[in-house]
Structure 1
Amino acid sequence: MLSFDETAFLQKSRSTVALRPQIEALVDRLTTKGIRNVLLVGAGGTFAAVWPYEHLAHRFSTLPVRSAIAAELITSGDASLGEGTVAVFTSVSGTTDDALRAVEYCKAHGALTIGFTGYAESPLASMVDEALISEPEAWPFDVQLLLFTTRLLSNRGEFSGYEKFADELAAIPEIMVQVARQADAPASDFALKHKDTNYHFLSGTGNLWGFTYLYSMCILEEMQWLHTTRVHGAEFFHGSLELIQEDTSLLLFRGEDETRPLMDRVVDFANKYSHNVTVVDTADYPLEGISPEFRGLLSPLVADTAASRISKHLEKQRDHSLDLRRYYRVVEY
């Protein structure tokens, strides 16, 4: 596959699964001590990437869990922040300035801070109260956040089948390699067809809304300098549908949680009024070894793996490096 190092991919993925004992021990200690609320704090892609786990908590738990933009949290504050708050941070490099300032802010207000990152010597790892380290550049953080969230809810009696689910996650590295292989040919076709397309309309729902936002802003806009519109599938019919024309490129992410019917409506409408519809449907992937009742929880990881193939093929077809930036970490702002 184009720009896919299977050995490195497996090594990074296995390092996230290997954190299970540490995550379980940490969550068990926190549960015993008592948790009043949880903040999932991020910036840019890491902010969007925690939305599925806020969504998961809202579906199953009475524990207050919310996502927060690091810079806004510092500026606006949060009345719920204090003793008994657990603030969770994710950062691949462990150097994101907004996240680091938010760690300081949360600690100053009495929260216990947890950091998932790939670098043990990074500023984030040294600043948080509890650091859980995977292999460098291990992205995304879905396995870690799934283990953390489901263990926490399981301890509260709000998620059943945790041990079975966590056991099945051990096969995720190999499963995601198969997802990448299956997604590669359609991704190549998409990139060839759309190498000159400058505008894409993206939509998703439920635990795929965060990834939809992330792929629109952090990949197509930041890494490919393409124009996009992104809208939650439940809001699609409240304004944004007026932008759809017969040549509009729509990239639609359809998952397997309870919001799937909302995306069915969007897909049906899109196919009626545009001939440029691409659907990334997590149900198309076998995910052998994952029980049916858990498949929906993995939709963000499946979508990320499949769409990463689109990214690599766009990079080639458009001759535009995914590492090229005009402003981000290039100029002062």
Structure 2
Amino acid sequence: MVGYDEAVYREVLGKAVSNIEEINKAVDEICDQGYKNLYLMGSGGTYSMASPVTYLLKTHSTIPWNWEIAAELIKAKPLSLNADSVVITASLSGTTTETIEAARYAQSVGAKVIALVGEDGCPLAECADYVFENPNASNDNLVEEIYIQYFAIAARFMRNNGEFPEYDEFVSALRKMPEVLQAVREQQDETALAFATAHKDTPFHMCVGSGNVWGETYCFAMCVLEEMQWIATKSIHAAEFFHGTIEMTDPDMSFMLFKSEDETRSLVDRVERFVRQHTDKVQVWDTKAFELDGIDPKIRPLVSPLVMSAMLERVSTHFSIVRDHDLDIRRYYRVVEY
């Protein structure tokens, strides 16, 4: 397949899996020392990548959690962020200014900081108490490797809290992700190419998702289509679609519907039933379409975000090729002062 190196992909995801043992030790140490709440914090893509973890915590745990945009956290200074807090964050380069500043602030109030980075020794690593690195990670494998580690961290906190009886099966599924997600990318490639070819000149897309793939919906719309391809989008939660966005539905509107296998799937189904009555431009990205060999059926919904990410990478890559617009090109982001 074009656009990425399969050997590197397996290596990067394999490194994320190998980090699980050290992650467990770090979380066990924090739990032994005591904590009261978790803060999942990031900027742009790493903010959206925390979304599936918050959904897992919301539906499977009583641990208090907060989901924060780094730049807003710095200004708002949440009162519950203190010495009893654990901040979990990520940055591939480790140089994202807002994330670094937020991590420093968290440490200044006594919170412990867990950071996922490309290379240890980066600026973000210098203001974290626990650092997990993945040196060969890059934009074409970043999300899946971050998810593996984010989920491993949250699952361990839940397990240590006397919750999440699915822990062993879930971690077993995470360990299988290098093979499983490679198969997903292969199966998705042809469909992704056809979509990218058909929509290379479409000027606007409505991206609708929910539940544990809401973060993927938001990230694909903003970080890929807007940032990397300069295509206008709107990401809308399926639960909110009928409270305003419904009026944007017409025969010329392009819809991408992102379907997980969790409890909220019916929300996207409802949107699909409506929009198909008014436009033929409807693309459904559905994690149910893939076999996921070796994954327990009851665990499938929990790993849907990883599957969705693997699917969408193929769409991103083919868009960049058919539109002759490399995913690394920027006009403003980290190019000019702002």
Q: Deviations over 1:119-153 (max 9, x none)?
A: 11211112211101123325111100111111111
CA contact (8 A) 2:173 2:299 kept: no
Identity over the aligned pairs, expressed in percent? 40
User: 1:174-185 alignment to 2 at 5 Å?
Assistant: 174-185=179-190
Aligned position for 1:306: 311
**TM-score in terms of structure 2 length:** 0.96
Among 276, 282, 291, the alignment partner of 1:271 is 276
Aligned position for 2:263: 258
CA–CA separation in structure 2 for the residues paired with 1:274 and 1:29: 54
Is 1:34 matched up with 2:16? Answer: no
Aligned position for 2:120: 120
Aligned position for 1:3: 3
Q: Deviations over 1:200-253 (max 9, x none)?
A: 010100011111111101000000001111100000111101111112111110
What is the identity, as a one-letter code, of the residue corresponding to 2:249? Answer: I
- Superposition deviation, residue 171 in structure 1: 1.4
Look up the SS of the partner of 2:277 in the other structure.
Answer: helix
Is 1:330 matched up with 2:325? Answer: no
User: 1:58-77 alignment to 2 at 5 Å?
Assistant: 58-77=58-77
**TM-score in terms of structure 1 length:** 0.98
Look up the SS of the partner of 2:285 in the other structure.
Answer: strand
CA contact (8 A) 1:86 1:112 kept: yes
Is 1:297 matched up with 2:302? Answer: yes
CA–CA separation in structure 1 for the residues paired with 2:174 and 2:88: 21
Number of matched pairs: 333
CA–CA separation in structure 1 for the residues paired with 2:261 and 2:49: 17
Aligned position for 2:87: 87
Aligned position for 2:167: 162
What is the identity, as a one-letter code, of the residue corresponding to 1:185? Answer: E
Q: Deviations over 1:169-220 (max 9, x none)?
A: 2211011010000110000000110011110010100011111111101000
- Superposition deviation, residue 4 in structure 1: 2.5
CA contact (8 A) 1:92 1:136 kept: no
- Superposition deviation, residue 318 in structure 1: 0.8
Is 1:244 matched up with 2:249? Answer: yes
- Superposition deviation, residue 306 in structure 1: 0.4
Is 1:133 matched up with 2:152? Answer: no
Aligned position for 2:13: 13
CA–CA separation in structure 1 for the residues paired with 2:312 and 2:257: 11
Look up the SS of the partner of 1:22 in the other structure.
Answer: helix
Among 147, 154, 176, the alignment partner of 1:149 is 154
CA–CA separation in structure 2 for the residues paired with 1:311 and 1:3: 9
Aligned position for 2:216: 211
Q: Deviations over 1:278-307 (max 9, x none)?
A: 111001111111111111111111111101
CA–CA separation in structure 1 for the residues paired with 2:12 and 2:62: 33
Look up the SS of the partner of 1:272 in the other structure.
Answer: coil
Q: In structure 2, list runs of 5 or more residues that go unmatched.
A: none
What is the identity, as a one-letter code, of the residue corresponding to 2:123? Answer: P
Q: In structure 1, list runs of 5 or more residues that go unmatched.
A: none
Is 1:106 matched up with 2:106? Answer: yes
- Compute the RMSD of aligned alpha carbons: 1.0
Aligned position for 2:49: 49
CA contact (8 A) 1:11 1:135 kept: no
Q: Deviations over 1:64-97 (max 9, x none)?
A: 1111011110111101011110011111111101
Aligned position for 1:186: 191
CA–CA separation in structure 1 for the residues paired with 2:12 and 2:107: 30
CA contact (8 A) 1:252 1:267 kept: yes
CA–CA separation in structure 1 for the residues paired with 2:260 and 2:208: 11
Q: Deviations over 1:20-63 (max 9, x none)?
A: 11111111111111120010110011111101111211112221
What is the identity, as a one-letter code, of the residue corresponding to 1:327? Answer: Y
CA–CA separation in structure 2 for the residues paired with 1:269 and 1:95: 43
What is the identity, as a one-letter code, of the residue corresponding to 1:275? Answer: D
